[in-house]
Structure 1
Amino acid sequence: MVARPSAVAFDVLETLVNLAPLRTRLEEIGQPAQLLEPWFMRFQRDSMALTLAGDFGSFESVARQALRTDTGHTASEDEIGYVLEGFGRLPAYPDAEPALRRLSEAGLRIGCLTVGSAENTALCLERAGLAHHVDQVITAEKAGTWKPAPSVYRVAASELGTSPGDMALVAVHAWDCHGAKRAGCLAGWCERLEGRHGDVFTAPDVSGADLVQVAERLLRLSSD
Protein backbone atom coordinates (compact mmCIF):
# COMPACT_ATOMS: atom_id res chain seq x y z
CA MET A 1 0.00 0.00 0.00
CA VAL A 2 1.28 3.46 -0.91
CA ALA A 3 2.12 5.56 2.15
CA ARG A 4 1.01 9.14 2.61
CA PRO A 5 3.85 11.58 1.83
CA SER A 6 5.33 13.99 4.35
CA ALA A 7 6.05 16.61 1.67
CA VAL A 8 4.46 17.74 -1.58
CA ALA A 9 6.17 19.64 -4.40
CA PHE A 10 3.87 21.49 -6.79
CA ASP A 11 4.69 22.35 -10.36
CA VAL A 12 4.04 26.08 -10.84
CA LEU A 13 3.44 27.09 -14.47
CA GLU A 14 0.02 25.82 -15.65
CA THR A 15 -0.49 23.90 -12.38
CA LEU A 16 -0.64 26.64 -9.72
CA VAL A 17 -0.72 29.71 -11.97
CA ASN A 18 -2.50 30.59 -15.21
CA LEU A 19 -0.43 31.60 -18.24
CA ALA A 20 -3.40 33.20 -20.04
CA PRO A 21 -2.55 36.86 -19.16
CA LEU A 22 0.62 36.51 -21.22
CA ARG A 23 -1.64 36.59 -24.30
CA THR A 24 -2.37 40.24 -23.58
CA ARG A 25 1.32 41.04 -23.31
CA LEU A 26 1.97 39.32 -26.62
CA GLU A 27 -0.75 41.40 -28.25
CA GLU A 28 0.68 44.55 -26.69
CA ILE A 29 3.96 43.98 -28.53
CA GLY A 30 2.16 43.35 -31.81
CA GLN A 31 2.14 39.56 -31.73
CA PRO A 32 -0.89 37.22 -31.92
CA ALA A 33 -2.37 36.02 -28.64
CA GLN A 34 -2.38 32.43 -29.91
CA LEU A 35 1.41 32.47 -29.99
CA LEU A 36 1.41 31.63 -26.27
CA GLU A 37 0.95 27.87 -26.66
CA PRO A 38 3.59 27.21 -29.36
CA TRP A 39 6.04 29.51 -27.59
CA PHE A 40 5.62 27.78 -24.23
CA MET A 41 5.88 24.39 -25.93
CA ARG A 42 9.08 25.44 -27.74
CA PHE A 43 10.50 26.71 -24.47
CA GLN A 44 9.79 23.37 -22.77
CA ARG A 45 11.14 21.37 -25.71
CA ASP A 46 14.34 23.39 -25.92
CA SER A 47 14.89 23.10 -22.16
CA MET A 48 14.52 19.32 -22.35
CA ALA A 49 16.77 19.18 -25.43
CA LEU A 50 19.53 20.97 -23.56
CA THR A 51 19.14 18.51 -20.68
CA LEU A 52 19.38 15.51 -23.03
CA ALA A 53 22.53 16.99 -24.54
CA GLY A 54 24.07 17.39 -21.10
CA ASP A 55 23.79 21.17 -21.02
CA PHE A 56 21.79 23.76 -19.12
CA GLY A 57 20.30 27.13 -20.01
CA SER A 58 18.63 29.57 -17.64
CA PHE A 59 14.89 30.17 -17.78
CA GLU A 60 15.44 33.68 -19.11
CA SER A 61 17.83 32.67 -21.88
CA VAL A 62 15.80 29.71 -23.14
CA ALA A 63 12.42 31.48 -22.94
CA ARG A 64 13.88 34.55 -24.65
CA GLN A 65 15.40 32.54 -27.49
CA ALA A 66 12.18 30.57 -27.99
CA LEU A 67 10.19 33.80 -28.28
CA ARG A 68 12.68 35.28 -30.73
CA THR A 69 12.15 32.25 -32.94
CA ASP A 70 8.37 32.10 -32.64
CA THR A 71 7.94 35.80 -33.42
CA GLY A 72 9.99 35.32 -36.57
CA HIS A 73 12.64 37.63 -35.05
CA THR A 74 10.24 40.57 -35.31
CA ALA A 75 10.09 41.37 -31.57
CA SER A 76 12.74 43.59 -30.01
CA GLU A 77 14.70 42.47 -26.96
CA ASP A 78 12.83 45.06 -24.85
CA GLU A 79 9.49 43.72 -26.09
CA ILE A 80 10.52 40.15 -25.28
CA GLY A 81 11.62 41.32 -21.84
CA TYR A 82 8.20 42.89 -21.29
CA VAL A 83 6.49 39.57 -22.03
CA LEU A 84 8.89 37.65 -19.77
CA GLU A 85 8.22 40.11 -16.93
CA GLY A 86 4.62 38.89 -17.03
CA PHE A 87 5.64 35.55 -15.53
CA GLY A 88 6.02 37.30 -12.17
CA ARG A 89 2.46 38.60 -12.31
CA LEU A 90 0.47 35.52 -13.25
CA PRO A 91 -2.71 34.78 -11.25
CA ALA A 92 -3.30 31.60 -9.31
CA TYR A 93 -5.94 29.12 -10.39
CA PRO A 94 -8.92 29.07 -7.98
CA ASP A 95 -8.03 25.58 -6.72
CA ALA A 96 -4.39 26.45 -5.93
CA GLU A 97 -4.69 28.24 -2.59
CA PRO A 98 -7.20 25.83 -0.99
CA ALA A 99 -5.10 22.83 -2.06
CA LEU A 100 -1.91 24.29 -0.61
CA ARG A 101 -3.72 25.33 2.56
CA ARG A 102 -5.27 21.89 3.05
CA LEU A 103 -1.92 20.11 2.82
CA SER A 104 -0.12 22.68 4.95
CA GLU A 105 -2.77 22.49 7.69
CA ALA A 106 -2.40 18.70 7.64
CA GLY A 107 1.26 19.13 8.57
CA LEU A 108 2.90 18.38 5.22
CA ARG A 109 5.86 20.43 4.00
CA ILE A 110 5.03 22.28 0.78
CA GLY A 111 7.43 23.07 -2.03
CA CYS A 112 7.28 24.49 -5.53
CA LEU A 113 9.36 22.76 -8.18
CA THR A 114 9.52 24.94 -11.26
CA VAL A 115 11.37 25.58 -14.49
CA GLY A 116 10.71 29.30 -13.92
CA SER A 117 13.24 31.75 -12.54
CA ALA A 118 13.62 32.09 -8.77
CA GLU A 119 12.86 35.82 -8.91
CA ASN A 120 9.73 35.52 -11.06
CA THR A 121 8.47 32.53 -9.07
CA ALA A 122 8.87 34.28 -5.71
CA LEU A 123 7.12 37.39 -7.03
CA CYS A 124 4.35 35.36 -8.63
CA LEU A 125 3.66 33.30 -5.48
CA GLU A 126 3.56 36.44 -3.37
CA ARG A 127 1.22 38.32 -5.69
CA ALA A 128 -1.02 35.29 -6.09
CA GLY A 129 -1.41 34.87 -2.32
CA LEU A 130 0.32 31.49 -2.21
CA ALA A 131 3.74 32.27 -0.73
CA HIS A 132 2.76 31.89 2.93
CA HIS A 133 1.82 28.24 2.30
CA VAL A 134 5.15 27.39 0.64
CA ASP A 135 8.17 26.21 2.65
CA GLN A 136 10.65 25.96 -0.22
CA VAL A 137 10.99 26.99 -3.88
CA ILE A 138 13.22 24.74 -5.97
CA THR A 139 14.04 25.87 -9.49
CA ALA A 140 15.60 23.96 -12.37
CA GLU A 141 18.50 26.39 -12.13
CA LYS A 142 19.00 25.51 -8.46
CA ALA A 143 18.91 21.81 -9.30
CA GLY A 144 21.28 22.29 -12.25
CA THR A 145 19.06 20.46 -14.70
CA TRP A 146 15.55 20.55 -16.15
CA LYS A 147 12.54 18.35 -15.61
CA PRO A 148 12.02 15.48 -16.12
CA ALA A 149 15.61 14.49 -15.27
CA PRO A 150 15.37 12.28 -12.16
CA SER A 151 17.87 14.39 -10.21
CA VAL A 152 15.59 17.44 -10.21
CA TYR A 153 12.93 15.60 -8.19
CA ARG A 154 15.54 14.17 -5.84
CA VAL A 155 16.93 17.65 -5.23
CA ALA A 156 13.39 18.83 -4.44
CA ALA A 157 12.94 16.03 -1.90
CA SER A 158 16.28 16.86 -0.28
CA GLU A 159 15.39 20.56 -0.08
CA LEU A 160 12.13 19.61 1.62
CA GLY A 161 14.02 17.49 4.14
CA THR A 162 12.78 14.10 3.04
CA SER A 163 13.48 11.18 0.73
CA PRO A 164 12.07 10.86 -2.83
CA GLY A 165 9.76 8.06 -1.71
CA ASP A 166 8.26 10.33 0.94
CA MET A 167 7.55 13.25 -1.43
CA ALA A 168 4.75 13.65 -3.95
CA LEU A 169 4.96 15.79 -7.07
CA VAL A 170 1.67 17.43 -8.10
CA ALA A 171 1.26 18.66 -11.67
CA VAL A 172 -1.20 19.02 -14.54
CA HIS A 173 1.38 17.51 -16.91
CA ALA A 174 1.45 13.71 -17.21
CA TRP A 175 5.09 13.81 -18.36
CA ASP A 176 6.08 15.67 -15.18
CA CYS A 177 4.33 13.13 -12.97
CA HIS A 178 6.03 10.36 -14.98
CA GLY A 179 9.42 11.94 -14.31
CA ALA A 180 8.70 12.06 -10.59
CA LYS A 181 7.62 8.41 -10.54
CA ARG A 182 10.77 7.37 -12.39
CA ALA A 183 12.80 9.23 -9.75
CA GLY A 184 11.14 7.19 -6.98
CA CYS A 185 8.64 9.82 -5.85
CA LEU A 186 4.88 9.71 -5.53
CA ALA A 187 2.78 11.66 -8.02
CA GLY A 188 -0.58 13.40 -8.00
CA TRP A 189 -1.95 14.33 -11.43
CA CYS A 190 -4.62 16.99 -11.94
CA GLU A 191 -6.69 16.54 -15.09
CA ARG A 192 -7.50 20.25 -15.55
CA LEU A 193 -5.15 20.71 -18.51
CA GLU A 194 -4.98 17.37 -20.33
CA GLY A 195 -8.33 15.78 -19.53
CA ARG A 196 -7.11 12.18 -19.66
CA HIS A 197 -3.82 10.78 -18.43
CA GLY A 198 -1.65 9.63 -21.34
CA ASP A 199 -1.21 5.86 -21.31
CA VAL A 200 2.42 6.14 -22.44
CA PHE A 201 3.27 7.56 -19.00
CA THR A 202 3.51 5.81 -15.64
CA ALA A 203 0.20 6.12 -13.78
CA PRO A 204 0.14 8.59 -10.87
CA ASP A 205 -0.59 7.45 -7.34
CA VAL A 206 -3.65 9.73 -7.19
CA SER A 207 -5.47 11.93 -9.67
CA GLY A 208 -8.35 14.36 -9.53
CA ALA A 209 -10.42 16.89 -11.41
CA ASP A 210 -8.78 19.77 -9.54
CA LEU A 211 -5.89 20.39 -7.15
CA VAL A 212 -8.09 20.21 -4.06
CA GLN A 213 -9.26 16.73 -5.00
CA VAL A 214 -5.66 15.67 -5.64
CA ALA A 215 -4.62 17.05 -2.24
CA GLU A 216 -7.44 15.25 -0.44
CA ARG A 217 -6.56 11.97 -2.13
CA LEU A 218 -2.90 12.31 -1.19
CA LEU A 219 -3.95 12.79 2.43
CA ARG A 220 -6.09 9.66 2.27
CA LEU A 221 -3.12 7.46 1.36
CA SER A 222 -2.16 4.99 4.09
CA SER A 223 -0.19 6.50 6.97
CA ASP A 224 1.05 3.07 8.10
Structure 2
Amino acid sequence: MSNIKPKVIFFDVNETLLDLTVMKKQVGDALGGKDNLLSLWFTTMLQYSLVVSASGQYKPFGHIGAAALQMVAANNGITITEEEARDIVVNALQDLPPHPEVKDALQALKNEGFTLVALTNSNNESLKTKIEKAGLTQYFDDLLSIESVGKFKPFKDVYNWASNKMNVKPEDCMLIAAHGWDVAGALWAGWRAAFVSRPGQQTFPLAPKTEINESDLQKVADILITYE
Protein backbone atom coordinates (compact mmCIF):
# COMPACT_ATOMS: atom_id res chain seq x y z
CA MET A 1 0.00 0.00 0.00
CA SER A 2 2.94 2.28 0.52
CA ASN A 3 3.24 5.29 -1.80
CA ILE A 4 -0.44 5.06 -2.77
CA LYS A 5 -2.49 7.99 -1.45
CA PRO A 6 -4.95 6.97 1.27
CA LYS A 7 -8.53 7.98 0.42
CA VAL A 8 -9.16 9.35 3.91
CA ILE A 9 -6.65 10.54 6.50
CA PHE A 10 -7.89 10.36 10.09
CA PHE A 11 -6.16 12.35 12.82
CA ASP A 12 -5.99 11.68 16.50
CA VAL A 13 -6.52 15.05 18.21
CA ASN A 14 -5.04 15.30 21.72
CA GLU A 15 -1.23 15.47 21.57
CA THR A 16 -1.14 14.62 17.85
CA LEU A 17 -2.64 17.96 16.73
CA LEU A 18 -3.05 19.82 20.02
CA ASP A 19 -0.34 20.68 22.53
CA LEU A 20 -1.13 19.40 26.04
CA THR A 21 1.60 21.42 27.80
CA VAL A 22 -0.78 23.98 29.36
CA MET A 23 -3.28 21.31 30.39
CA LYS A 24 -0.53 19.23 31.97
CA LYS A 25 0.53 22.24 34.02
CA GLN A 26 -3.03 22.69 35.31
CA VAL A 27 -3.25 19.01 36.21
CA GLY A 28 0.25 19.12 37.72
CA ASP A 29 -0.76 22.06 39.91
CA ALA A 30 -3.80 20.09 41.11
CA LEU A 31 -1.43 17.25 42.05
CA GLY A 32 0.60 19.56 44.27
CA GLY A 33 3.13 20.47 41.58
CA LYS A 34 4.37 16.88 41.35
CA ASP A 35 5.19 16.73 37.64
CA ASN A 36 6.20 13.07 37.90
CA LEU A 37 2.54 12.23 38.53
CA LEU A 38 1.39 13.63 35.18
CA SER A 39 2.30 10.62 33.07
CA LEU A 40 0.76 8.37 35.72
CA TRP A 41 -2.47 10.36 35.51
CA PHE A 42 -2.56 10.15 31.71
CA THR A 43 -1.82 6.41 31.75
CA THR A 44 -4.51 5.86 34.38
CA MET A 45 -7.01 7.80 32.25
CA LEU A 46 -6.24 5.59 29.22
CA GLN A 47 -6.34 2.43 31.34
CA TYR A 48 -9.78 3.23 32.70
CA SER A 49 -11.16 4.31 29.32
CA LEU A 50 -10.34 0.75 28.22
CA VAL A 51 -11.84 -0.70 31.42
CA VAL A 52 -15.07 1.21 30.72
CA SER A 53 -15.20 0.00 27.09
CA ALA A 54 -14.24 -3.59 27.94
CA SER A 55 -17.05 -3.65 30.51
CA GLY A 56 -19.63 -2.55 27.96
CA GLN A 57 -20.03 0.87 29.54
CA TYR A 58 -19.58 4.42 28.27
CA LYS A 59 -18.57 7.54 30.18
CA PRO A 60 -17.26 10.77 28.61
CA PHE A 61 -13.47 10.83 28.26
CA GLY A 62 -13.21 14.01 30.33
CA HIS A 63 -15.11 12.36 33.20
CA ILE A 64 -12.76 9.36 33.07
CA GLY A 65 -9.84 11.79 33.12
CA ALA A 66 -11.32 13.52 36.16
CA ALA A 67 -11.85 10.20 37.95
CA ALA A 68 -8.25 9.20 37.16
CA LEU A 69 -7.08 12.53 38.58
CA GLN A 70 -8.96 11.81 41.82
CA MET A 71 -7.37 8.34 42.03
CA VAL A 72 -3.80 9.52 41.48
CA ALA A 73 -4.36 12.42 43.88
CA ALA A 74 -5.76 10.11 46.59
CA ASN A 75 -2.73 7.81 46.31
CA ASN A 76 -0.56 10.84 47.03
CA GLY A 77 -2.52 12.20 49.97
CA ILE A 78 -4.32 14.89 47.95
CA THR A 79 -8.10 15.22 48.05
CA ILE A 80 -9.86 16.48 44.92
CA THR A 81 -13.65 16.42 44.66
CA GLU A 82 -15.36 15.06 41.54
CA GLU A 83 -16.56 18.58 40.72
CA GLU A 84 -13.05 20.07 41.08
CA ALA A 85 -11.48 17.28 39.03
CA ARG A 86 -14.02 17.66 36.20
CA ASP A 87 -13.58 21.41 36.24
CA ILE A 88 -9.82 21.02 35.80
CA VAL A 89 -9.78 18.21 33.23
CA VAL A 90 -12.86 18.95 31.11
CA ASN A 91 -12.14 22.67 30.80
CA ALA A 92 -8.42 22.12 30.18
CA LEU A 93 -9.11 19.53 27.46
CA GLN A 94 -11.29 22.01 25.56
CA ASP A 95 -8.78 24.83 25.33
CA LEU A 96 -5.60 23.45 23.81
CA PRO A 97 -3.41 25.23 21.25
CA PRO A 98 -2.24 23.38 18.13
CA HIS A 99 1.40 22.35 17.85
CA PRO A 100 3.30 25.02 15.86
CA GLU A 101 3.52 23.10 12.57
CA VAL A 102 -0.03 21.70 12.54
CA LYS A 103 -1.90 24.40 10.57
CA ASP A 104 0.66 24.50 7.74
CA ALA A 105 0.75 20.70 7.57
CA LEU A 106 -3.05 20.40 7.40
CA GLN A 107 -3.22 23.16 4.78
CA ALA A 108 -0.59 21.38 2.67
CA LEU A 109 -2.55 18.12 2.80
CA LYS A 110 -5.81 19.93 2.03
CA ASN A 111 -4.17 21.63 -0.96
CA GLU A 112 -3.26 18.17 -2.28
CA GLY A 113 -6.92 17.14 -2.16
CA PHE A 114 -6.74 14.74 0.77
CA THR A 115 -9.94 14.11 2.78
CA LEU A 116 -9.09 15.01 6.39
CA VAL A 117 -11.09 13.74 9.36
CA ALA A 118 -10.57 14.12 13.12
CA LEU A 119 -11.15 10.92 15.12
CA THR A 120 -11.00 11.30 18.87
CA ASN A 121 -11.85 9.72 22.21
CA SER A 122 -13.35 13.07 23.30
CA ASN A 123 -17.13 13.44 23.04
CA ASN A 124 -18.84 15.28 20.16
CA GLU A 125 -19.35 18.56 21.98
CA SER A 126 -15.80 18.67 23.33
CA LEU A 127 -14.38 17.79 19.91
CA LYS A 128 -16.24 20.57 18.13
CA THR A 129 -15.26 23.11 20.82
CA LYS A 130 -11.57 22.22 20.94
CA ILE A 131 -11.16 22.19 17.14
CA GLU A 132 -12.89 25.60 16.92
CA LYS A 133 -10.81 27.12 19.73
CA ALA A 134 -7.62 25.80 18.12
CA GLY A 135 -8.61 27.44 14.82
CA LEU A 136 -8.58 24.16 12.89
CA THR A 137 -12.22 23.79 11.80
CA GLN A 138 -11.65 24.83 8.18
CA TYR A 139 -9.15 22.03 7.53
CA PHE A 140 -11.46 19.11 8.28
CA ASP A 141 -14.06 17.40 6.10
CA ASP A 142 -15.58 15.72 9.17
CA LEU A 143 -15.19 15.53 12.95
CA LEU A 144 -15.81 12.07 14.40
CA SER A 145 -16.12 11.21 18.08
CA ILE A 146 -16.17 7.69 19.50
CA GLU A 147 -19.24 8.84 21.45
CA SER A 148 -21.29 7.61 18.48
CA VAL A 149 -19.89 4.08 18.97
CA GLY A 150 -19.83 4.10 22.77
CA LYS A 151 -16.34 2.57 22.82
CA PHE A 152 -12.90 4.14 22.98
CA LYS A 153 -9.99 3.73 20.62
CA PRO A 154 -8.20 1.35 20.19
CA PHE A 155 -11.29 -0.91 20.10
CA LYS A 156 -11.59 -2.30 16.57
CA ASP A 157 -15.28 -1.30 16.44
CA VAL A 158 -14.22 2.37 16.46
CA TYR A 159 -11.98 2.11 13.37
CA ASN A 160 -14.58 -0.04 11.56
CA TRP A 161 -17.30 2.50 12.37
CA ALA A 162 -15.14 5.43 11.21
CA SER A 163 -14.28 3.82 7.85
CA ASN A 164 -17.97 2.94 7.30
CA LYS A 165 -18.98 6.47 8.24
CA MET A 166 -16.65 7.86 5.55
CA ASN A 167 -17.78 5.15 3.12
CA VAL A 168 -14.29 3.74 2.51
CA LYS A 169 -12.64 0.36 3.01
CA PRO A 170 -10.25 -0.03 5.97
CA GLU A 171 -7.25 -0.37 3.64
CA ASP A 172 -8.06 3.06 2.15
CA CYS A 173 -7.87 4.71 5.58
CA MET A 174 -4.79 6.07 7.31
CA LEU A 175 -4.57 7.13 10.94
CA ILE A 176 -2.03 9.76 11.96
CA ALA A 177 -1.42 9.68 15.71
CA ALA A 178 1.20 10.37 18.36
CA HIS A 179 0.20 7.34 20.47
CA GLY A 180 1.61 3.86 20.03
CA TRP A 181 -1.62 2.24 21.22
CA ASP A 182 -3.70 4.20 18.68
CA VAL A 183 -1.61 3.41 15.60
CA ALA A 184 -1.44 -0.22 16.79
CA GLY A 185 -5.24 -0.37 16.99
CA ALA A 186 -5.61 1.15 13.53
CA LEU A 187 -3.08 -1.25 11.96
CA TRP A 188 -4.74 -4.27 13.57
CA ALA A 189 -8.07 -3.02 12.20
CA GLY A 190 -6.64 -3.16 8.68
CA TRP A 191 -5.86 0.55 8.35
CA ARG A 192 -2.61 2.19 7.39
CA ALA A 193 -0.87 4.41 9.93
CA ALA A 194 1.66 7.20 10.38
CA PHE A 195 3.27 7.87 13.76
CA VAL A 196 4.17 11.34 15.03
CA SER A 197 6.90 10.75 17.60
CA ARG A 198 6.11 13.61 19.94
CA PRO A 199 8.40 13.78 23.02
CA GLY A 200 7.70 10.88 25.38
CA GLN A 201 5.84 8.83 22.74
CA GLN A 202 6.89 5.47 21.30
CA THR A 203 5.37 2.88 18.99
CA PHE A 204 4.43 -0.49 20.52
CA PRO A 205 7.15 -3.02 19.55
CA LEU A 206 4.64 -5.90 19.27
CA ALA A 207 2.41 -4.07 16.77
CA PRO A 208 2.92 -3.94 12.98
CA LYS A 209 5.25 -1.13 11.88
CA THR A 210 3.76 2.17 10.73
CA GLU A 211 4.76 3.12 7.20
CA ILE A 212 5.71 6.65 8.33
CA ASN A 213 7.41 7.60 11.60
CA GLU A 214 8.42 11.26 11.90
CA SER A 215 8.95 13.79 14.68
CA ASP A 216 6.24 16.26 13.60
CA LEU A 217 3.15 16.55 11.41
CA GLN A 218 4.83 18.65 8.70
CA LYS A 219 7.37 15.89 8.06
CA VAL A 220 4.53 13.34 7.82
CA ALA A 221 2.66 15.62 5.41
CA ASP A 222 5.77 16.12 3.27
CA ILE A 223 5.98 12.35 2.74
CA LEU A 224 2.25 11.91 2.06
CA ILE A 225 2.34 14.65 -0.58
CA THR A 226 4.84 12.53 -2.59
CA TYR A 227 2.38 9.60 -2.71
CA GLU A 228 0.56 8.93 -5.97
Q: Same fold (TM over 0.5)?
A: yes
Worse-matched range after superposition: 49-58 or 39-48: 49-58
Q: Choose which of 172, 177, 181 in structure 2 pairs with 1:175.
A: 181
TM-score calculated relative to the size of structure 1: 0.90
Identity %, equivalent residues: 27
Alignment partner of 1:79 out of 74, 78, 84: 84
Matched, 1:64 2:66: yes
Distance 1:219 1:159, change over 3 A: farther
TM-score scaled by structure 2? 0.88
Report if aligned partners of 1:26, 1:33 keep a CA contact under 8 Å in 2.
no
For 1:4-153, list aligned pairs within 5 A: 4-26=5-27, 29=30, 31-32=32-33, 34=35, 35-72=37-74, 74-84=79-89, 85-153=91-159
Query: What secondary structure, in the 3-state scheme, does the structure 2 residue paired with 1:175 have?
Result: helix
Structure 1 gaps, min length 5: none
Stretches of structure 2 that go unaligned for 5 or more consecutive residues are none
The answer to whether the 8 Å contact 2:197/2:216 transfers is yes
Moved more, 189-198 or 115-124: 189-198
* Partner of residue 220 from structure 2, selected from 204, 210, 214: 214
Three-state SS of the structure 1 residue aligned to 2:193 is strand
Post-superposition CA distance 1:59-86 (Å, at most 9, x none):
1331221111111161123321321211
- The answer to whether the 8 Å contact 1:59/1:117 transfers is yes
Distance 1:181 1:79, change over 3 A: same
Structural RMSD (CA) = 2.0
Q: How many residues align?
A: 222
